[in-house]
Structure 1
């Protein structure tokens, strides 16, 4: 994408947008005793939840009561898949609606998660309104919970995803964004959020481990893949260092990366998810890499996190332009063919607080 101003970022018009809010309600035995049983709780609470959401004009909502984490992505077909730790939701905000209750037989969830998927077009323009609609539902539902003093954690997630090589593949049209953090953007639209909140913005690049890369770094038959991963690390650090990007991660262990603010969440992992924590306020380089010398993965993920210094009145445009220039240089250093390879770039903005 062309950069006509260092404070404005030009994103292909075929970029995909997603927004979802997640409300997490902690539960205990006394919570479930109010409903007689976990099953009764889920049935009654979901019916009330769906009714309130429908009245608020929210038509793609889900209640998750099996302690699985939702992961949301764009797709032109609506579908969801469950693994041991996740529920993956694929949908097109313009055309898809849904209401689902996810439970596991004879299982009492430690948290009840309420998932709100934004629908319609122009999601970024209507993001603040969507947030307000969701909070109206949460406020009404909270007043009816057995523990009225329960704290509910709110997470607002927004994504813009596109192919780094969209222009090279013939998609010449782009749209200029003056990106801002969620807190100032919502405040400008009269959507007040608590001053006590956690926010983080970052970019992920998904790099397929193509045959060309394996051959280039002689990782075709050996079970010793350290040279490949070390070369990727070196090229990634070189490309980002030239653009003064310091908060970095490489995840090539087969797990799904989750990025969090270290002031709230610490790095950890399970069988499917790799949580990585960064402090956007701290100066200096923060770099972590997760890979296994004996495991050649299908996709490596590269993460660049925006710092406090990137969150100015001009927004993240300057940060995004540096990110794209760095990742373009990274791809070229690896000899990636832009015509034959899709490198998905995903810009994330998250904010969370206690309601």
Structure 2
């Protein structure tokens, strides 16, 4: 019984589940040459895609041809925000549906993204069925549109489980024990076949606002125009909390950019004005940490990432890993004297699987 408990992480019953699948391809000049103009190209692809989505009962799908990265988050209201680098989609899977396209009529997209958002309830339980529907839709689209080659298509399945780690301190006592099984065996068990050659990433993130209370706690380290001592104190507290729980793949980002986690065998570290790509080798036994901040810039929010090592992948799932992550977060926030009854610390557990179609 004790072993079973260690392999489950108990998460509040009001946790939020999200799933989305991103299918991407890089259109060639030959692809664009098949159409009279860019508008006819994008409009025809949209019509083909959305007709197939109706057929296969996919109710929230977007075609993106503006070279912006889609970011998906839960929200009670449905809306889409655009920045120079991102498409931010907010929605509640239980209620919101849409078929929309986004493009610039004067610009040939370097990449076309087809974004499929899961809808309905029991998102995690129905994840394999949703993935199967998307695969059938993509198969039909490739059959309909001969200008897209299957070999050019890359599919990424993203699943998030989001919850306040301090929910119990606020009176939300009910929880559910998750084993958090790896995606590949979960899908196989539900007759959703994925290629043997694939890449998986599992990690957790959380963020902390730089509140007045936090600045007061560390006021002796904060100097006008120089926040290096403050950031180093946060960095030391975070990394030491992770090290105590044998969590060796970690990052602290406090420069205003959104961290994106990638496998170093596929993507390398890079950054633009809004996004910070963090690449980890999950097979390596080396400690891999990153601390990214600017000494003259005090941000509103600090972001933290803890990535699962290959050794954290158990037959039972990632429950043991997330128990270690939670213990590290409790220790870290305790060092910062954060009040669990007054402040939310929302943890996101991410599972990604990607493959060449």
Same fold (TM over 0.5): yes
What is the CA deviation profile of residues 281-309 of structure 1, one whole-angstrom value per residue up to 9, with x for unaligned ones?
Answer: 11121101110001111111111000111
1:16 maps to which residue? Answer: 16
Where in structure 2 are the equivalents of 1:191-340 lying within 5 Å? 191-218=192-219, 222-340=224-342
Contact kept? 1:259, 1:275, Cα under 8 Å: yes
1:84 maps to which residue? Answer: 84
2:124 maps to which residue? Answer: 124
Select between 290-299 and 137-146 the one with higher mean Cα deviation: 137-146
What is the aligned length? 354
The CA RMSD over aligned residues, in Å, is 1.4
What is the CA deviation profile of residues 250-292 of structure 1, one whole-angstrom value per residue up to 9, with x for unaligned ones?
Answer: 0101001100111111110001000000111111211011100
Give the TM-score normalised by structure 2.
Answer: 0.97
Structure 2 gaps of 5+ residues are none
What is the CA deviation profile of residues 226-245 of structure 1, one whole-angstrom value per residue up to 9, with x for unaligned ones?
Answer: 11110011101111111111
What is the CA deviation profile of residues 158-190 of structure 1, one whole-angstrom value per residue up to 9, with x for unaligned ones?
Answer: 000011111111110001111111111111111
Structure 1 gaps of 5+ residues are none
Contact kept? 1:94, 1:121, Cα under 8 Å: yes
Give the TM-score normalised by structure 1.
Answer: 0.97
What is the CA deviation profile of residues 81-112 of structure 1, one whole-angstrom value per residue up to 9, with x for unaligned ones?
Answer: 00000000000001110111001231110111
Three-state SS of the structure 2 residue aligned to 1:5 is: helix
In 2, Cα distance between the equivalents of 1:55 and 1:150? Answer: 24
Three-state SS of the structure 1 residue aligned to 2:35 is: coil
Establish whether residue 32 from structure 1 lines up as the match of residue 37 from structure 2. Answer: no
Contact kept? 1:225, 1:293, Cα under 8 Å: yes
Contact kept? 1:217, 1:227, Cα under 8 Å: no
In 2, Cα distance between the equivalents of 1:149 and 1:122? Answer: 31
What is the CA deviation profile of residues 18-72 of structure 1, one whole-angstrom value per residue up to 9, with x for unaligned ones?
Answer: 0000000111211011122211110000011001011101000000010011000
In 2, Cα distance between the equivalents of 1:150 and 1:5? Answer: 43
Three-state SS of the structure 1 residue aligned to 2:170 is: coil
Structure 1 runs of 4+ off > 3 angstroms? 147-150
In 1, Cα distance between the equivalents of 2:230 and 2:120? Answer: 43
